Amino acid sequence: MIKNDLFLQALAGSTLVRPPVWIMRQAGRYLPEYMKIREQYDFFTRCRTPELASEISVQPIRRFHMDAAILFSDILVVPQAMNIAVEMKPGVGPVVPDPIRSLKDLQNVVVPDVQKELDYVFQAVQMTKEKLQDEVPLIGFAGSPWTIFCYVVQGKGSKNFEKAKAFCFAKPQEAHQLLEKITQTTILYLQEKIKAGVDAVQLFDSWGGLLSPQDYALFSWPYLQKIISALAPAAPVILFAKGAWYALEEMTSSGVSALGLDWTLTAQKARQYCGEKITLQGNMDPSRLYSSPAVIQKEVREMIRSFGPSHYIVNLGHGILPDIPLAHVEAFVEAVKTYTE
Amino acid sequence: MIKNDLFLQALAGSTLVRPPVWIMRQAGRYLPEYMKIREQYDFFTRCRTPELASEISVQPIRRFHMDAAILFSDILVVPQAMNIAVEMKPGVGPVVPDPIRSLKDLQNVVVPDVQKELDYVFQAVQMTKEKLQDEVPLIGFAGSPWTIFCYVVQGKGSKNFEKAKAFCFAKPQEAHQLLEKITQTTILYLQEKIKAGVDAVQLFDSWGGLLSPQDYALFSWPYLQKIISALAPAAPVILFAKGAWYALEEMTSSGVSALGLDWTLTAQKARQYCGEKITLQGNMDPSRLYSSPAVIQKEVREMIRSFGPSHYIVNLGHGILPDIPLAHVEAFVEAVKTYTE
């Protein structure tokens, strides 16, 4: 039994007096205790070493007592397991030295034995659950097939992922084959992650919003729907598709427990698209944490008044930025925890 | 009298048998004749030399016969005139060596004598009009105050312009002072540009969509509205605010003649937000030009069937990409010119 299960209650649609709160990238670079570990071990060593990944996952909970932990990992462990090399270059971000651009490249991409190739993730889940001692639930995550596709075709981060799009538009058949392989792997991966102990799963379609609604319906949504349908009975699923506001209506009836929102949506517009019943998660602009703690607290309270307190999970509209002062994060979390109507 | 005034008719809301077509960044890097000039002269020399700017502006018209020309220039000539140094670094983009971050920095920023400081632009307008020989109308443009602010505070291009936002949220008073100075300069600049001969004006709020609706209402929209109100009687104004779909309803009643759309909007959603009367411009994903010419033509025809043919201007949803083959641009323009219901 999880002692503070507010987050799971919100996902189940219970009536609450205050919403739960967690922060995307809460285990990461704004935390001095994380930076100490970062000095000693490179990025994928931190992901691949269960002792480190679990320690990093619980650090923000010890300091700020959010209502949920999220496993420290990366969406790109999935293509690594599929026989696509991914490196993390400091100051650059993820780099795929041999990006997938042709049918020949595609033939080397496998749907792996997930239990073997990603065992280190499942061990990290178990170790994090032990360290959490049932204080709060643990979230596991994966990237959407389209978002993984963007990286492995483009070869690195990009503003518009033109090479990934060019591949879709010039070679749609090959693109769908690659998306299908990523989808199959992701389903196996998340099923194992749930077995290993995560209490909920979040799907990140970080680059979904780069597609037109018509192309989203071709290259992203069908694959997300497959994953959601394969998982939804086993664990609650949260879908966060940054920028894909135009697909929210369709997502509402997909079987997800909650929809993550970026900061371009007001509560009113979000409810108009999603209805009253589904749980929404978000959505303060991460840059808004540069405001003074007093302003942050005022804005959090306004956000809860517009969205919640029920059917709502407080979060940012994207990952926390590395240079946000700890006192500002504290103000954000505290404003939720002390919220009264 | 302009011989082909289809573009101006669309802005005036006339009933048409086919919409006009032009392409954002049509004067630029995908054109071999532009690349020849680029080999010889650096970016701001091309902007500052009326002979070059006017030659570049008419190049795409000679080759593809779009229904409007747009003056070759840059939104950052405005901050340059305001005593803020801006350099163009090849492979990097615009760089502001001394970004504006404090009240002291702000004091060096002036509202200039626009006629003197930006005379080269007005000369380029006149020279372009001569070269066009009244074949098609000429569009002049400026960046929105928020978008200019992003560059001069951040110091260079950025995915999220966090430093610009941090300045707004940590020092809102100073931010508004800078935005006000940019607004005043932009009004004077565009009024002179209209006097010099441009037939319409487009405002680019390229980074508007990075703000939440609440912050857009604070830091971008009021300044755009001021500019629109100051110009709208003298020339038709097109507003293109990339990503700011949430503000379209308000923009519709601002006095603009047309609203530019990025590719995240279907015609149906756009009309739902903007009504039937205002002219809409856009909005194919620029990456969609990687498709085969046959697919491009099919998609252009579908786009016109959804949006037009009246109250509509065909364009991309953002600037054309540098590596698009000429035959694909040809297919895009031809599909519009040969359109029949």
Q: How far apart are the first and last CA of chain A?
A: 29
Banded pLDDT at B78 (limits 50, 70, 90): very high
Q: Is the pLDDT of residue A91 over 90?
A: no
Look up residue B238 and give its DSSP letter. E
Give me the CATH number covering residue A177.
Answer: 3.20.20.210
Closest alpha carbon to B18 in B10, B30, B27, B8? B10
Residue A113: C-alpha distances to residues A109, B212, B262 (Å): 13, 43, 42
Q: Are A285 and B243 inside 8 Å of each other by CB?
A: no
Q: Are B266 and A214 inside 8 Å of each other by CB?
A: yes
| Residue B1 belongs to some domain of the structure | no
Q: Are A212 and B264 inside 8 Å of each other by CB?
A: yes
- CB contact at 8 A, B328 and B60: no
Q: Helices A267-274 and A293-307, interaxial angle, to 10°?
A: 30
Q: Are B264 and A214 inside 8 Å of each other by CB?
A: no
Closest alpha carbon to A318 in A274, A279, A260? A260
CA separation for the pair A299, A305 (Å, rounded): 10
B119 and A CB contact within 8 Å: no
For chain A, helix (H) and strand (E) counts, in that order, are 17, 9
Q: How far apart are the first and last CA of chain B?
A: 29
Q: Are A264 and B212 inside 8 Å of each other by CB?
A: yes
List beta partners, residue A258.
A238, A279
Q: 3-state class of A41 per DSSP?
A: coil
B285: its two tokens: 């994903």
Residue ranges making up the domain that contains B183: 6-337
Q: Are B295 and A169 inside 8 Å of each other by CB?
A: yes
Mutation target among B169, B291, B332 for the A interface, most CBs of A within 10 A = B169
A135 and B CB contact within 8 Å: no
A311: its two tokens: 């059917």
pLDDT tens digits along A214-269: 999 999 999 999 999 999 889 999 999 999 999 999 999 999 999 999 999 999 99
Of B170, B211, B295, the CB nearest to A290: B170
A272 and B CB contact within 8 Å: no
CA separation for the pair B329, B320 (Å, rounded): 9
Say how many CA atoms lie within 13 Å of B7 toward its Cβ.
29
Mutation target among A92, A158, A161, A287 for the B interface, most CBs of B within 10 A = A287
| Residue A46 belongs to some domain of the structure | yes
ipTM of the complex: 0.94
CA separation for the pair B186, B192 (Å, rounded): 10
Task: Give Cα B114 distance to the centre of its chain.
Answer: 20
Which residues on B lie below 8 Å from A268 (Cβ)? none
A213 and B CB contact within 8 Å: yes
Q: Is the pLDDT of residue B2 over 90?
A: yes
Banded pLDDT at B21 (limits 50, 70, 90): very high
Which residues on A lie below 8 Å from B209 (Cβ)? 264
Neighbours of B45 (CB within 10 A): 13
pLDDT the model gives residue A222:
98
Closest alpha carbon to B265 in B282, B252, B278, B279? B282
| Residue A300 belongs to some domain of the structure | yes
Task: Compute the mean pLDDT over every residue in chain B, rounded to the nearest whole number.
Answer: 97
Active site residue B151: yes
In this prediction the pTM is 0.96
CA separation for the pair B239, B249 (Å, rounded): 13
Minimal-distance CA residue of chain B relative to A318: B160
Q: Which residues of A are catalytic?
A: 25, 29, 38, 74, 151
**What is the secondary structure of B200-233 as a DSSP string?**
EEEEE-TTGGGS-HHHHHHHTHHHHHHHHHHHTT
Closest alpha carbon to B168 in B79, B101, B76, B106? B101
Q: Are A266 and B243 inside 8 Å of each other by CB?
A: no
Strands B258-260 and A237-240: unpaired
- CB contact at 8 A, A166 and A151: no
B179: its two tokens: 């935005």
Closest alpha carbon to B169 in A286, A311, A259, A60? A286
CA separation for the pair B22, B313 (Å, rounded): 8
Of A215, A263, A295, the CB nearest to B285: A215
Banded pLDDT at B7 (limits 50, 70, 90): very high
pLDDT tens digits along A104-163: 999 999 999 999 999 999 999 999 999 999 999 999 999 999 999 999 999 999 989 999
| Residue A231 belongs to some domain of the structure | yes
Sign, Cα dihedral of A157, A161, A162, A168 = positive
| Residue A1 belongs to some domain of the structure | no
pLDDT tens digits along B104-136: 999 999 999 999 999 999 999 999 999 999 999
Q: How many domains is chain B built from?
A: 1
| Residue B125 belongs to some domain of the structure | yes
A88-97, A207-216, B4-13, B241-250, range with the lowest pLDDT: A88-97
Q: Is the pLDDT of residue A308 over 90?
A: no
Task: Compute the mean pLDDT over every residue in chain A, rounded to the nearest whole number.
Answer: 97
Minimal-distance CA residue of chain A relative to B161: A287
B28: its two tokens: 């630029």
Active site residue B285: no
List beta partners, residue A237.
A201
A91: its two tokens: 């100051």
pLDDT the model gives residue A90:
87
- Judged by phi (left if over 0) then psi (alpha if -120 to 50, else beta), residue B270 lies in alpha
pLDDT the model gives residue B233:
84
Mutation target among A221, A273, A285, A289 for the B interface, most CBs of B within 10 A = A285
Active site residue B271: no
- Does the bond joining A315 to the residue before it have cis omega, within 30 degrees of 0? no
The whole-angstrom distance between B338's CA and the closest CA on chain A is: 24
pLDDT the model gives residue B32:
98
The whole-angstrom distance between B7's CA and the closest CA on chain A is: 25
Neighbours of A92 (CB within 10 A): 10
pLDDT tens digits along B26-70: 999 999 999 999 999 999 999 999 999 999 999 999 999 999 999
